[in-house]
Amino acid sequence: MSQASSPTHQRTFAQRLRKNYIGWLFIILSVLGISLFYFYPMVQAFLLSLQSGMGSSLEYVGFDNYVRLFNDPTFITALTNTILYLLIQVPVMIVLALVFSVLLNDPTLKFKGFFRTAIFLPAVTSLVAYAVIFKYLFGNDGLVNDFLLGMNIISSPIAWLSDPFWAKITIIIAITWRWTGYNMIFYLSALQNVDKSMYEAARIDGASAMQQFFFITIPLLKPIILFTSIVSTIGTLQLFDEVMNITSGGPGNSTMTISMYIYNLSFEYTPDFGYAATVSYVILILVVILSFIQFRVAGDRD
Amino acid sequence: MKKLKRVFTYLFLSVAAIVSIFPFLWMLVSMTNKSVDVTAGRLIPGTHFIQNLNNLLDQTQIGTALWNSFLIAVITTVLTLLIGSLAGYGFEIYRSKGKDIVFNILILSMMIPFAAIMIPLYRLFGQISADAPLIGLDTLAAAFLPTIITAFFIFFFRQNTKMFARELVEAGRIDGLSEWGIFFRIYMPTMKTTYAAAAIIAFMNSWNNYLWPLVVLQSPEKQTIPLLISNLGAGYTPDYGVIMTAIVIATLPTALVFFLMQRHFVAGMMGSVKG
C-alpha cells in the first residue's frame, strides 16, 4: 500500500499510461482509414443490398434482391464460372508450383538460377498488360494456333476466344501462366529451410522419390500450401482484370465472373447499385466460407 | 534410368522456362515490327520501333498516363509505408490487450474482397465530389486514397517489428528521445530492408491497379497506364506494333524493380508469411 503511493511508482505508472496513450496515436490513422475505407463501405453495401432502383433513386425492398439472385441466369453463370476457375485453376497451379520447386531444390541441378528467374518472370507483369498479350496470342490466327497447326497437333484452328469452352480454358491458362512462378517462390524458400538429413534418413529406409515427396515434402510445406491456396482462392474469387481484357466475359456470358458482373451491373448496364451490392455480398460470404474450410481441412493441428 | 530422369527434368524445366519467357520476347520483338507483320506471326526484330513509338505518342496520351501512374504510385508508396509502419510499430512496441483486439479486427478487413466495397466507395467519393472537388470522383487523389491504408502492410510491419531489437527503444528513451523520435530516428533507419521490401510491393500494386482507377477515373487526361493499355487492347482496329510498345513501356518499371532489387523483392513476398 505504502509502496503504491511512493512517488517513483506513481511516476512509472503515469509513464506507462502516457506510453499506452502514445501507442494509440501510432495506430489511430490506420484504425480510422480501415474503418472508413473497409468497414463503413461493408455496412453501406449491406444496406444497399436491401434496396432496389435505378441510379440514385433507391427504396428499401427487404431481402428481395437476395431472392432475385436465385432466378438470375447471369448471376448463376457468373457464380458457376468463378467456382469452375477456382476448382480447376488453383489446384493445377499449386501442383505445378510444387513440382517446379522440388525440381529446382535439387542442389546438383544446373542453370537453377536461370530456370527460377524465368518461371518467376510472369509475376512481374501487370495483369492488364499480360491479359492483352494473351488475347492476341490466343486469337484465331494468333501464334498459339499457328504453333499447334505447325506442329500438326491440331488440324484446324481452335476458337480459343470465341468458343464458350475454350474461352474458359484460355482464362485458366492465362492465370496459371501469371501466378505459378509466384507461388513457386514461396515453396522454394520453405524447402530451403527443410532439414536435409530427413531426406537422407528416408532414402536409407528405402523411400522412393515419390514417397519422399508425399510423406516428407508435402506435410512440411502444409502451412505454406495453406497460405498460398487461401491467397489464390481469394484472388480467383475476385477475378476481373484478365476476363475483362481477354474476353470481356464473352462469348455470351460464358467467361463472366462475379466481379465482372458486379462491375457491369453498376457501370455498364443501367446502374442497379442495390442488386450489385447483393451480388458483392456473395463474394464476401464465399471468401469467408472457403477460407474457413481450408483452415479446417489443412490447418487442424496448428 | 537416373540419366533418363535427369534429361526429362531438364526438358520439363526448359519447356516451362520457354513458355514463361516467350510472351516477353514476343512483345519485345513485336515492338519493332509493323502491325501487319505482327499479325502475320513475324518473330524476328524489325526496324519499325521509332515509327511505333511516334504513333503511340501521337495517338494516345501515354506521357500523361505515365505521369499519372507514376505520381499515384509514388504518393501511394510513401503514405502506405508511413502509415503502415507507424501502426505495425505501435501494435508491437506498445502492445496491450485493447490494441491486440483492435489489431485482430483490422486484420479481418484483409478478407473483404474489393468488389464488395467498390460500389459504396464509388458513392462515397461521389458524395464528397461537390464539397471537396480535389478528392472527389475523377481525381488522382480518389484513385489512391482508398488504397493507402491496408491491413496487409500493418501486418507486414508488425511481423517485421518482432525482429527489431527492443533494447534500441530503451536506449533511445535513456538518451532522451521522444517516442516519435525513437520511431523516426532509430526504427526507420534500422528497418531499411523492411521498408525496401514494402516499397516494392506497394509500388507494384499501385502501378498495376486496374479496377478502382477504372471505376473512379473517367476523363482521358486522368488515365493511368493500365487503363490506357486496356483501351488500346479493346480497340476495333488495333495497331499491334503500337500496343506492344505501350505494353513494354508499362512493364519496364516493374521489371526493372524486380531485376535491380530481386533480394528485397523475394524478402517482401516472404515477409507476409513469416510467423
Q: What CATH number is given to the structural domain containing B195?
A: 1.10.3720.10
**Residue B53 within a domain:** no
**Which residue in A38, A108, A144 has the most chain B C-beta atoms within 10 A of its own C-beta, making it the best mutation to test that interface?**
A38
Confidence band for B273, pLDDT divided at 50, 70 and 90: low
Q: Which of A121, A136, A259 sits opposite B240 (nearest CB)?
A: A136
Confidence band for A302, pLDDT divided at 50, 70 and 90: very low
The predicted structure's pLDDT at residue A1: 41
The predicted structure's pLDDT at residue A2: 43
The predicted structure's pLDDT at residue B271: 61
**Residue B147 within a domain:** yes
> For residue B46, is pLDDT > 60?
yes
> For residue A212, is pLDDT > 70?
yes
Confidence band for A83, pLDDT divided at 50, 70 and 90: very high
* Close Cβ partners of A198 (under 8 Å, ≥ 6 residues apart): A216
The predicted structure's pLDDT at residue B133: 81
Which residues in chain B touch residue A259, judged by CB atoms under 8 angstroms apart?
113, 115, 211
Q: How many CB atoms lie within 10 A of CB B131?
A: 8
Mean pLDDT of chain B: 88
The predicted structure's pLDDT at residue B145: 93
Confidence band for A298, pLDDT divided at 50, 70 and 90: low
**Which residue in B13, B83, B207 has the most chain A C-beta atoms within 10 A of its own C-beta, making it the best mutation to test that interface?**
B13
Confidence band for A257, pLDDT divided at 50, 70 and 90: very high
CA distance A5 to chain B (A): 24
Q: Residues A5-59: pLDDT tens digits?
A: 455 556 677 777 777 788 899 999 999 999 999 999 999 999 988 988 776 677 7
Confidence band for A216, pLDDT divided at 50, 70 and 90: confident
Mean pLDDT of chain A: 87
Q: Which of A111-120, A177-186, A200-209 has the lowest mean pLDDT?
A: A200-209
Q: Which residue has the higher pLDDT, A90 or A199?
A: A90
| 3-state per-residue secondary structure call for chain B | CHHHHHHHHHHHHHHHHHHHHHHHHHHHHHCCCCHHHHHCCCCCCCCCHHHHHHHHHHHCCHHHHHHHHHHHHHHHHHHHHHHHHHHHHHHHHCCCHHHHHHHHHHHHHHHCCHHHHHHHHHHHHHHHHCCCCCCCCCCHHHHHHHHCCCHHHHHHHHHHHCCCCHHHHHHHHHCCCCHHHHHHHHHHHHCHHHHHHHHHHHHHHHHHCCHHHHHHCCCHHHCCHHHHHHHHHHCCCCCHHHHHHHHHHHHHHHHHHHHHCHHHHHHHHHHCCCC
Contact A100 B226 (CB under 8 A): no
Contact A132 B233 (CB under 8 A): yes
Contact A126 B240 (CB under 8 A): no
**Residue B7 within a domain:** no
The predicted structure's pLDDT at residue A301: 47
CA distance A24 to chain B (A): 7
Contact B99 A27 (CB under 8 A): yes
Contact A44 B124 (CB under 8 A): yes
Percent of chain A surpassing pLDDT 70: 94
Confidence band for A63, pLDDT divided at 50, 70 and 90: confident
Q: Which amino acid is at B263?
A: R
In chain A the first and final C-alpha atoms are separated, in Å, by: 44
Contact A34 B254 (CB under 8 A): no
User: How many domains is chain B built from?
Assistant: 1
Q: Which residue has the higher pLDDT, B269 or A204?
A: A204
The predicted structure's pLDDT at residue B164: 87
Cβ-based contacts under 8 A for chains A and B: 234
**Residue B8 within a domain:** no
B147: nearest CA in chain A?
A: A37
**Residue B29 within a domain:** no
**Residue B188 within a domain:** yes
**Residue B55 within a domain:** no
Check: CB of residue B251 under 8 Å from CB of residue B225.
no
Contact B233 A131 (CB under 8 A): yes
A146: nearest CA in chain B?
A: B41
> For residue A299, is pLDDT > 70?
no
Q: Which residue has the higher pLDDT, B84 or B115?
A: B84
Q: Residues A71-82: pLDDT tens digits?
A: 999 999 999 999
Query: Residue B190 belongs to what domain range?
Result: 64-242+253-271
The predicted structure's pLDDT at residue A55: 67
The predicted structure's pLDDT at residue A3: 46
The predicted structure's pLDDT at residue A8: 56
Q: Residues B47-103: pLDDT tens digits?
A: 888 888 988 898 888 999 999 999 999 999 999 999 999 999 999 999 989 999 999
CA distance A6 to chain B (A): 22
Confidence band for B275, pLDDT divided at 50, 70 and 90: very low
**Residue B17 within a domain:** no
Question: Average of pLDDT values for A110-117?
Answer: 90
Percent of chain B surpassing pLDDT 90: 47
Q: Which of A106, A129, A177 sits opposite B251 (nearest CB)?
A: A129
CA distance B222 to chain A (A): 17
Q: Which residue has the higher pLDDT, A290 or B212?
A: B212
Contact A186 B270 (CB under 8 A): yes
Contact B96 A241 (CB under 8 A): no
> For residue B20, is pLDDT > 90?
yes
